[in-house]
């Protein structure tokens, strides 16, 4: 069963996908910077197929990036013609600018907290709540894990903790997945790893050789890496099965 639902007193919409059989827990699926596009709904459906109630909140429509706009921005970002790609930069900066404000970050974490509230009230979930996010969503997976101790597992794909994140507050295991050809995140990974170790966080990471940022997005032929995506999915589901059993 799938449906669009309203959360946080109607201030947040989300896509919900339910398993057909026994519920093993719940997964919050946080989208990329393109918003709640069909690719993310498909991922939620895949988690439902694994036995989890999957909730994919729409964090960007309210700041001017509904799914239809996100789909228009993707080809601008990955335009192969350098001249056209350069010409599109002002549009991308304008549309994505709100995401960098502290006010948006505070709202987004609070909104994700309302998703945890919703799932915590479902008896079948039994408190077994995880977060998995991609790009923008990977970053907010770290942030939610630090902000809400009810999260029992976090899997950020090609994200990094926001600067304001209190890493020591993360109370759950974290599995972080990266592509080798993602210079910014590769440069920051040693510091992230050291910070996690210093804080005593159960942190593990996997870097996929030859893979780019967004290697899991099978709708983007520029970045998708099937070998990395298949392995990442297997690692993710195994990680959830291990940690959503308390």
Residues ≥6 apart with Cβ < 8 Å to 212: 179, 181, 182, 222, 223, 225
Choose among 17, 96, 109: nearest CA to 56. 17
CATH topology of domain 2-243: Rossmann fold (3.40.50)
Q: Where are the alpha helices (DSSP H) in the chain?
A: 38-49, 67-77, 82-96, 102-120, 136-147, 183-199, 226-243
Residue 136 to residues 2, 26, 66, Cα–Cα distance (Å): 24, 20, 15
- Where in the chain are the domains? 2-243
The percent of the chain in helix, strand and coil, each rounded to the nearest 5, is 50, 20, 30
Would you please indicate which residues are annotated as catalytic (active-site) residues? 135, 182, 213
- pLDDT tens-digit series, residues 174-208: 999 999 999 999 999 999 999 999 999 999 999 99
pLDDT higher than threshold 80 for residue 25: yes
The two structure tokens encoding residue 208:
């996929």
Tokens of 117: 């509230």
CA angle (28 as vertex; 100, 64 as ends), nearest 5: 35
d(CA 56, CA 132): 10
User: Is the pLDDT score of 132 beyond 90?
Assistant: yes
Residue 114 backbone class (left: φ over 0; alpha: ψ -120 to 50; beta: rest): alpha
Q: Are 220 and 77 in contact (CB under 8 A)?
A: no
In angstroms, the CA 106 to CA 109 distance is: 5
Tell me the pLDDT tens digit for each residue of 73-96. Answer: 888 888 787 888 888 788 888 888
Write the pLDDT tens digit of every residue in 134-170: 999 999 999 999 999 999 999 999 999 988 788 999 9
Residue 213 has pLDDT above 80, yes or no: yes
Sheet holding 174-181, edge to edge: 2-7, 12-17, 52-57, 25-30, 129-134, 151-157, 174-181, 203-212
């Amino acid at each position: 069963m799938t449906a669009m639902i309203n959360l946080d007193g109607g201030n947040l919409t989300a896509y919900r996908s339910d398993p057909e059989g026994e519920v093993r827990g719940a997964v919050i699926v946080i989208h990329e910077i393109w918003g709640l596009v069909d690719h993310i709904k498909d991922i939620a459906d895949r988690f439902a197929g694994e036995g989890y109630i999957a909730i994919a909140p729409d964090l960007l429509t309210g700041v001017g990036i509904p799914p239809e706009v996100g789909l228009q921005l993707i080809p601008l970002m990955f335009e192969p013609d350098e001249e056209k790609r350069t010409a599109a930069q002002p549009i991308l900066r304008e549309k994505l600018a709100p995401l960098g404000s502290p006010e948006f970050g505070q709202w987004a974490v609070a909104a994700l907290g309302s998703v945890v509230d919703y799932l915590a009230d479902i008896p079948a979930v039994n408190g077994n709540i995880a977060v998995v996010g991609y790009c923008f969503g990977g970053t907010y997976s770290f942030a939610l894990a630090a902000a809400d101790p009810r999260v029992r597992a976090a899997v950020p794909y090609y994200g990094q903790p926001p600067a304001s994140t209190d890493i020591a507050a993360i109370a759950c295991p974290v599995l972080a997945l990266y592509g080798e050809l993602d210079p910014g995140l590769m440069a920051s990974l040693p510091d992230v790893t050291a910070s996690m170790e210093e804080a005593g966080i159960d942190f593990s990471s996997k870097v996929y050789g030859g893979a780019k940022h967004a290697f899991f997005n099978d709708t983007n032929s520029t970045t998708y890496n099937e070998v990395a995506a298949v392995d990442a999915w297997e690692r993710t589901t195994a990680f959830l099965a291990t940690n959503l059993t308390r």
